[in-house]
A and B are shown apart, each in its own frame.
Chain A
Amino acid sequence: EVQLVESGGGLIQPGGSLRLSCVASGFTFSSYAMSWVRLAPGKGLEWVSAVRVHSAFTLYADSVKGRFTVSRDDSKNTLYLQINYLGVEDTAVYYCAKDGQRYYDFDYWGQGTQVTVSS
């Protein structure tokens, strides 16, 4: 059974940093691209970042470019998202999602970790 478990969220002041983690199980993690997607209050889902297999390529939404860094440790079956210079607009539930290896769909998602940016 595929499982994705996020952690690392919390209440953080504007300008602060966080590192989110997503531990994967039930599939060969190293063989799949992975993404982070967030859901802000009152808004729709927003794709944030993706990393291809072997960390060969990373991609970011314009809204987070330069502040967020995605990485993966295939030896630990873990996906990371380093978030710097947090703003209130980054308040959201952050989900990790597994690539479906078809046409840019996400076939499994975690339950998310809440990030709240507030002074």
Chain B
Amino acid sequence: QSALTQPPSASGSPGQSVTISCTGSNSDVGAYPSVSWYQHYPGKAPKLIIYEVSKRPSGVPDRFSGSKSGNTASLTVSGLQAEDEADYYCSSHAGINTWAVFGGGTKLTVL
């Protein structure tokens, strides 16, 4: 069982917006400004798309945005495109004995 809870699946039509939640606790998501999101195509290297809750690395489209409220973080993908169909994982720092904990992943389907 993963430390962070994500819905196993999400979907939307091209052009729509979809939001993926990531629920943790006061020991991880709620405690640190360290939520990251990763996009993963099976068989490929995961890619960082959001760090420090809401910041985007260079080259990541602004269609991807992140936020946090209490112990729950969210990733919103706006203007869905076919290429956004992938697995998405959240992570958070969780204290001195753990570098990071991850969510179970959400499979995003573009209908």
Contact = CB atoms under 8 A, between A and B. Distances in A.
Q: Do A and B come from one complex?
A: yes
Interface of A: 4, 35, 37, 43-47, 50, 59, 61, 95, 97, 100, 102-112
Contacts of B44: 111
Contacts, number: 82
10 contacts: A43-B104, A44-B89, A44-B104, A45-B46, A47-B99, A59-B98, A61-B98, A95-B45, A104-B32, A111-B45
Contacts of A103: 32-34, 51-52, 93
B51 A105 contact: yes
Given A44-B104, A45-B102, A61-B98, A105 B48 contact: yes
Contacts of A46: 2, 102
Contacts of B43: 111
A109 B93 contact: no
B103 interface: yes
Given A59-B97, A105-B36, A47 B102 contact: yes
A112 B40 CA distance: 12
Given A100-B51, A103-B51, A50 B38 contact: no
A37 B93 CA distance: 14
Given A103-B32, A107-B48, A111-B45, A44 B97 contact: no
B2 A50 contact: no
A23 B40 CA distance: 21
B101 interface: yes
Interface residues of B, number: 30
A42 to B, nearest CB: 10
A92 to B, nearest CB: 13
Contacts of B6: 44
Contacts of A105: 34, 36, 48, 51-52, 91, 100
A109 B46 CA distance: 6
Given A44-B103, A47-B102, A104-B99, A110 B45 contact: yes
Given A50-B99, A102-B51, A105-B34, A45 B45 contact: no
